[in-house]
Amino acid sequence: MLTKTTPEEIYQKQVAFYTTGLKKLKIKRSRLGWLRLIIVLSIILMIYYLFFNSSLFVWVAAAAGIVLFLYTVSVDTNNNNKISYLERLLLINSEELAILNGNYSGREDGLSFLPNDHPYASDIDLLGTASIYQYINRCTSEQSKKMLAKHLLSPLKKEVIIQQRETAKSLHSHIEWRQDLQAAGLANPLTFATEEKIISWIKMPIPFNQKFWQFIPLIFSSITLATLVAYLLDWINASVFTLLLFIFFLIAKYTSGKVHEIYMALSKIEPEVNTIQQQLRQVENVPASSPLLHSYKSLLTLEKSGSASIEDLKKILKRFDFRLNVFVFLVLNTFLLWDVRQVNGLGKWKQKNAASVPNWFSIITNIEVINSLATLTFNHPDWVFPVIVDTHFTLAGEQIGHPLIDARKRVNNSFCTNGTGKVSIITGSNMAGKSTFLRSVAVNLVLAQMGAPVCAKAFIFSPVHLYSSMRIADNLAENTSTFYAELKKLKSIIDQVKQHEKIFILLDEILRGTNSLDRHTGSEALIRQLIREQAVAVIATHDVELASLESEFIDAITNYHFDVQVEGEELYFDYKLKRGICKSLNASILMKKIGIEI
């Protein structure tokens, strides 16, 4: 019987393959190093021999040795590039194995993208240590990392959700393509600074924009080179040549001063420009198909492909960088107006491609985010893509689990709520699983609304804004107590409820910072208000008396619970959600176990 290969097994094979490949390339690098040394020593010996013997054979051999040395350097450079590429692929696959085994808390946490007073992010570990962001992020550029966080923090529109998930579905099985895209980005990750440099340069006026400047370098070069030939043929003397050379230098210096601002605007961006080229080429050659990918390919292959246009820009930037060598800079500018030639090339490139540059950055940003979703899809073949319905409100999940809990330990639960003016009250013992269940529902809803697969056997939802109050902390800087901080958060929820916005509310042990009477009174009043305003909420509480409201609001309130089995002084949890009110409590047993005499 054939067994299905798991993602973990695939990554293990990839790690073994790339490890073997790296070993061979490093052996080759060592041999090339020795070969270069032998060639250099041979050239030195031949040059030494030339002092005593001007044999034509020795001259030819020395020249051949230099050519062979340069060829060896070229081969070694290509070999080192392959080593770097395989090292990145090895890192990617090793990291995937670590993530699948639960070792991801050391990855980039995305906390810099977390705004103050977000409706739900802090309650459900979207960003930070051991977070959803750390678990799913495969982005390399600053732009895509920010967009991934944004999608976690704010639901997408229905049509965008569908675009994202269809593209992730189509890409998930193309592991080689996805990892090549990621490896290209890891070489020199794109930054906002580089994007700003390029956009700023595009907005700059083009120097030497007059038409005649297209011919000036050619005319200038003809004059300077003719002057050089005249001097070499003794048609002009040294004094005249020196004077003319000084005039040419002054003209070159003047024109170079005009392009300095442009050079500074584009300095040191070539490595990231190479990343843009490599990633655009990946998109142009994507083996998968979806409406979004088709639109990207169409944008990138209008007249000339995006990657080919970037290749043209790279060549100009490389030639522009010749000015970093003072000697070459003086010669090339004095005789060829080198800087003017490159600026003219940049001007032509800008005229052709200026409108496309923002699209290129947008495509790379989006495709890296989708690549993260595709990798999540590949890593979890048992997860599902949810069904979206337009009727407000629907949420139904079969075997919902928390994505960050190991599948071997995770306990899944099914849950359903339909319609508005509905409150699900979950009672239960301490540590029985109420909070984890709330977070499981919330996290999967967030994943569903960014186009990702969810940790469930089936999941149906209607697009909605999520609000929660689960993890409240005081704020010493604002002199705010925990209770007041919770009241502020509840106020923001009530404000949305009163405006009859499409929201879904998750509350865990509300009003915990006050006495039991006020807590019960306030909680009951809030539940009544939520029902009256046609809101939808799930509330986890220890206050079993709140569950008695079901008899008054038969169609609006549904009771669930998590219970505990007690044998002697030992507690056993099954973490399964059940209908009805919790009857078993465990606080007294836990207090006795720590030494409180009851």
Residues 55-84 pLDDT 10s? 666 667 777 878 888 888 889 999 999 999
Of the candidates 561, 386, 522, the residue with the CA atom closest to the CA atom of residue 464: 386
Residues in the chain: 598
Of the candidates 425, 386, 370, 423, the residue with the CA atom closest to the CA atom of residue 535: 423
Cα(598)–Cα(596) distance, rounded to whole angstroms?
Answer: 6
Cα(416)–Cα(455) distance, rounded to whole angstroms?
Answer: 15
Note the pLDDT of residue 544. 87
Strands 394-400 and 536-541: unpaired
Judge whether 557 and 423 are in contact, CB under 8 Å. yes
The 8 Å CB, 24+ separation contacts for 85-92 are: 85/183, 85/187, 86/18, 86/21, 86/22, 86/25, 87/22, 88/182, 88/183, 88/186, 88/187, 89/14, 89/18, 89/179, 89/183, 90/15, 90/18, 90/19, 90/22, 91/186, 92/179, 92/182, 92/183, 92/186
Of the given ranges (123-127, 405-409, 530-534, 584-588), which has the lowest mean pLDDT?
A: 584-588
Of the given ranges (32-46, 192-206, 351-365, 469-483), which has the lowest mean pLDDT?
A: 469-483
* Between 51 and 353, the higher pLDDT residue: 353
**Residue position matching structure tokens 């670590």:** 98
Note the pLDDT of residue 319. 84
Give the contacts of 405 (CB within 8 A, at least 6 positions apart).
Answer: 436
Q: Is the pTM of this model over 0.85?
A: yes
Of the candidates 72, 48, 74, the residue with the CA atom closest to the CA atom of residue 61: 48
Q: Is 558's pLDDT higher than 90? A: yes
Give the angle 6-10-16 at the CA atoms, nearest 5°. Answer: 145
Mean pLDDT (the chain) is: 88
Domains of the chain by residue range: 7-100, 186-367, 387-593
List, as one string, the DSSP characters of 411-429.
Answer: --EEEEEESSSEEEEEEE-
Show the tokens assigned to 60: 């030819």
Note the pLDDT of residue 207. 75
Judge whether 546 and 524 are in contact, CB under 8 Å. yes
Judge whether 420 and 392 are in contact, CB under 8 Å. yes
Q: What is the pLDDT of residues 335-375, one digit of tens each?
A: 888 888 888 888 889 888 988 999 999 999 999 999 999 99
CATH number of the domain at 387-593, out of 2.30.40.10, 3.40.50.300, 3.20.20.70, 1.25.40.10? 3.40.50.300
Q: What is the pLDDT of residues 410-455, one digit of tens each?
A: 999 999 999 999 999 999 877 888 999 999 999 999 999 999 999 9
Rounded average pLDDT over 189-217: 84
Q: Using alpha carbons, list the distances in angstroms from residue 549 to 21, 420, 513.
A: 67, 17, 23
Q: What is the pLDDT of residues 257-272, one digit of tens each?
A: 778 778 777 878 888 9
Please give the DSSP secondary-structure letter assigned to residue 322: G
pLDDT classification of 515: cutoffs 50, 70, 90: confident
* Between 307 and 2, the higher pLDDT residue: 307
Q: Is 388's pLDDT higher than 90? A: yes
